[in-house]
Amino acid sequence: MEQTANIIWDGVARGYIPPDVLRISPKLQLHTKGAADVDPITYEVARNTLLNINLEHGQTIQKLSISPITMLVRDFQCAILTENGDVMCLGPYLLYLGNMLGLITKWILENRSEEPGIEDGDVFLCNDPYVGTSHQQDTGLTCPVFWQGELFCWVSNSVHYSDVGGPMPGSFCLNSNTIWEDPPCFPPIKLMERGQIRTDLEQLFLRQSRLPDTVAMDLHAAIAGLSVAKERIIKLIERYGPDTVKGVMNRIIDAGELAIEEKLQLIPDGRWSERVYTEAAVPGDRGIYASQINIIKEGGFLYVDNEGTSPQVGAINNTYAGLAGGTLAAMTIMLAYDLAGVSGGLYRRVKFRPVPGTITCADYPAPISIAGQFNMPMVVATATGAVAKMVACADSPLREKAIAMADVHAYGGSIFNGINQHGQFFVGMNAGMAVGALPASPVRDGVDTGGLFWVPGMEAANVEENELAWPVLTLYRRHNTAGAAGAGRFRSGLGAEEAWVLHGAPQMSMEVYMNESFVKNQGLLGGNPGGRSFFQVKKNTDVRLCLAEGKLPQNLADLSGGDVPMYFKGPPITLEANDVWSSNLPNFAGYGDPLDRDPALVAIDVSEGKLTTADAQQVYAVIFGADGSVDEENTRACRAGRKQARLAACP
C-alpha cells in the first residue's frame, strides 16, 4: 500500500472522498442563508412537501422508464441535496445509491464550478465509479436548482441503464482486468445546458449502448424526474422564500442527526467486524478473497474501515463510492429506519477511513462494471453483519432492529441474451429471484420471499411476463424448504428457486450466472448462515420427451442428461433446446442457536410443509410424537444431549 500513499482521493486515480470544506469556484454563488426560526407548522408543511417531491421524482422515473431493472427491481434512487451536495433525503429505492448522488454532486462542485461552470438549467451526467457510481450502468444525473442567480440546492438520480457499452451485453464485463476492458466511464458532463439537451453528448452516451432506444427512454424518464422535482422546489421557494425553505432543509437534516445521536447513545462504545468471502476474480480463477468491514463506535460517531479486505484483483472491485454507499445502506435500515429516508443526519455521523487498493475500495484502473451484481451485495452483506452485531449489543428497543445478513451473491441471478420468439434481440436480466427473503432478527423470524431489505419495494416479474419477453418456459418457481439453511432460534425467511427450459427459440446465451462453490453468508450470533446460491444446468435432457408425454418435470434430478460442471463464474454458456437450468435464491441468515428455537415454531413450519420432520429433528432437535405433535419431553432430552455431544466432540 505504501507506493500508493501519496495518491489523493480525487475521483481520478482513486475514489473521490470529498473534503470537509469543498473547493468551489467563486464564480458560483451559493445560497447558504437558512432561516433558523421557521415556525413549527411551516416547517412540517414544507418538510412533508419536500419528502413528497422526492417521492414524486421517483414515481416519475418508475412510471416512464421501460427497463424492468428500473421498474421492478427498483435499481434506481433519487435525492434532494443541499447547495453543497449533502444528501437531505433519499427515496425508498436501492439504498446504496443515495450517498453516491452526494459524491457526484460534490465532485462537480469542486471540479466543474470554474470550467465549464454550473448554471441554471444544467444537468450533469456521470457514470464514473471513481467519481461516485457503484458501476458504470448506474449512471447518475444531477441538476442544480437556482434561485435568483444563487445555487439553492440539487436534485439527483441514479438509474441502472440496461446496456452502456463494453464487451458484454448488459455491460457486466466479467473478464475485465482493467477499466479499459469495461464499458466507458464518463466523468461528469453537461448533458443539459441552460435547459437544452446537448444532443451531441446524449448521442455520445447512447452510441455506446446495444440498446440505445431503451436507454434513451430511460434517460428521458430520469430527466423528467429531475424536472418535476426542480419545478416543485422552485414553487416551494416562491411560496415560503428561499431562506425559510433552506432553513427547513437544514433542520430536517439536523433533526435526523439528533434522532441518530439518540440511537447511538443506546449503543456501547466498541468495535465490531464482519468478514465475507468471495471467489473467482475472473472466470476460471480459483482464488478466494475477503471483504471485511470494521465499525468503531466512539461517543456520537461511527468510524468505518475495510481493513482485512483483499487487494484489488481482476473484475471484482468497487470504488470508495460502493464501500460508503453499501455501509450506509445497512446503517439506514438498522439506525435510520424511522426517518422516512432522511439519511443526511446519519451520513454526518459516519466517518470512513478506507484502505485503498482493495477490492472494496479499488484504485484506478481497476474495472468496476460487475460490481452491481457481485461487489455491491457483498459490501452491503459485510456491512450488515458488522452493523447487526453492533446493534445487537445495544439497549432495547434498538437491539431488536438488528437484522441478519441477506444475500452476498444472489441479487438478480442471471443475465442472458439472444433472439426471442418475436424475432427481436433481447438482453434479459432475470428478476424472478427478486422475490428475496427477509433474514432473521433477534425477536422474530424473517419473512418468506419478503424482498431484499436494502432494495425496498423490489419485486419479481411474473412468470408470464418473463415468458412473453424471453423464449423460455418456467417449469417451476417455488419456495425453498426451511431446512438447515438460515436456521436459528429465529430463522430466515425462505428464498426460492426456479427452473427454465427454452421455448420458442433454438438457443440463447447466458453470460452472467452465479453458482457459489461455497456458502458465503454468515449467521448472526449463533444462527446458521444462509444457504449456498446455486445455478445448475443440465444438458441434453429428456425434458422434451417428458413434456410430450404430458409430464411437467418438477425436479432436475428426475431428468436424464448430464450436469454441466458449473463454476461460480464460468464462460458464457449456450443454452439449447434440451437443456434445463435452474437458479436458487437461498434462505438468508438465521439468528441464534437453532437448539434454542421454540419447538412450537418448528411445529408450525412442519405443519405448513416448510420443514420435514427429519430436518426438524436434525436441525432443531425437535421430536414429534406419533400423533404429530411435539414430544416435549423427548425434545428437551434430545436438545440437552446434543449440547453435551457438541462439547464431547470438541475438547
Residue numbers 53-112 binding another protein by CB under 8 A? 55-56, 59-60, 62-68, 71-72, 91-92
Please select the residue that binds another protein; options are 13, 189, 204, 216, rule is CB under 8 A.
Answer: 216
Give the range of 97-105, 133-141, 354-362, 383-391 binding another protein by CB under 8 A: 383-391
Q: Cβ–Cβ contacts within 10 Å for residue 632, how many?
A: 13
Per CB under 8 A, the list member of 27, 207, 271, 351 interacting with another protein is: 271
Of 195, 299, 504, 562, the residue at the interface with another protein (CB under 8 A) is 504
> Quick one: which of 15, 24, 35, 47 contacts another protein (CB under 8 A)?
47
Q: What is the footprint of another protein within residues 580-639 (CB under 8 A)?
A: 586, 591-596, 608-609, 615, 618-619
Whichever of 130 and 205 has its CB closer to another protein, that residue is 205
Site for another protein in 417-436 (CB under 8 A): 421-422, 434-436
The span of 46-54, 144-152, 356-364, 574-582 binding another protein (CB under 8 A) equals 46-54
Phi-psi region of 453 (alpha: psi -120 to 50; beta: other; left: phi over 0): alpha
Residue at 323: amino acid letter: L
Residue 255 sits in the site that holds another protein (CB under 8 A): yes
Cβ 31 to another protein, closest distance in Å? Answer: 21
**Which residues, 312 to 341, sit near another protein by CB under 8 A?**
332-333, 336-341
For residue 600, with 0-12 CB atoms within 10 Å meaning exposed, 13-18 middle and 19 or more buried, which class applies? exposed
> Binder to another protein among 17, 427, 458, 508 (CB under 8 A)?
458
For the record, the C-alpha cell of 395 comes out as: 439497549
- Give the residue, chosen from 13, 355, 393, 419, that forms a contact with another protein under the rule CB under 8 A: 393
Instruction: Tell whether the torsion through CA atoms of 293, 413, 558 and 476 is positive or negative.
Output: positive
Q: Which long-range contacts link 610-615 to residues 24+ away (Cβ below 8 Å)?
A: 610/448, 610/479, 610/481, 610/482, 610/494, 611/481, 611/482, 611/483, 612/481, 612/483, 615/481, 615/482, 615/483, 615/484
Distance in angstroms (rounded) separating the CA atoms of residues 31 and 540: 67
Q: Is 21 in the site for another protein (CB under 8 A)?
A: no
Number of residues binding to another protein, judged by CB under 8 A = 170
Q: Measured in whole angstroms, how far is the alpha carbon of residue 129 from the centre of its chain?
A: 15
Q: Specify the stretch interacting with another protein by CB under 8 A; choose among 13-21, 119-127, 319-327, 524-532.
A: 524-532
346 binds another protein (CB under 8 A): no
* Residue number with CB closer to another protein (112 or 389): 389
Q: Which stretch binds another protein (CB under 8 A): 7-15, 116-124, 346-354, 463-471?
A: 463-471
Residue from 393, 394, 359 nearest 376 by CA: 359
Residue among 294, 329, 464, 460 nearest 403 (CA): 329
CB of 179 or CB of 585, closer to another protein: 585
Sheet of 189-193: strand order equals: 87-90, 76-82, 150-160, 138-147, 123-126, 189-193, 196-197
Listed residue (300, 323, 314) closest to 380, CA to CA: 323
Stretch that binds another protein, among 175-183, 184-192, 264-272, 313-321 (CB under 8 A): 264-272
Q: Closest approach of Cβ 250 to another protein, in Å?
A: 11
If binding is defined by CB under 8 A, does position 283 make contact with another protein? Answer: no
Tell which one of 176, 360, 528, 533 touches another protein (CB under 8 A): 528
Gap between the Cα atoms of 158 and 129, Å rounded? 12
**Minimum distance of another protein from residue 286's CB (angstroms):** 7
Q: Is 405 in the site for another protein (CB under 8 A)?
A: no
Residues whose CB is less than 8 angstroms from the CB of residue 281 and which lie 6 or more positions away in sequence, other chains included: 287, 289, 313, 314, 315, 316
**Of 8, 117, 425, 443, the one binding another protein by CB under 8 A:** 443
Q: Contacting another protein (CB under 8 A), which of 127, 156, 358, 449?
A: 449
C-beta of residue 441 within 8 angstroms of C-beta of residue 486: no
Q: What is the DSSP letter of 527?
A: P
By CB under 8 A, is residue 35 in contact with another protein?
no
Residue whose cell numbers read 432437535: 621
Q: Is 496 in the site for another protein (CB under 8 A)?
A: yes
C-beta of 205 vs 272, nearer to another protein: 272
What's the min distance (Å) between Cβ of 88 and another protein? Answer: 13
The piece of 185-193, 216-224, 347-355, 622-630 that touches another protein (CB under 8 A) is 216-224
> Which positions from 551 through 570 interact with another protein, judged by CB under 8 A?
551-552, 554, 563, 565-568
Cα 578 from chain centroid? Answer: 34
Residue with cell 465509479: 129
CB 468 to another protein: min, Å: 5
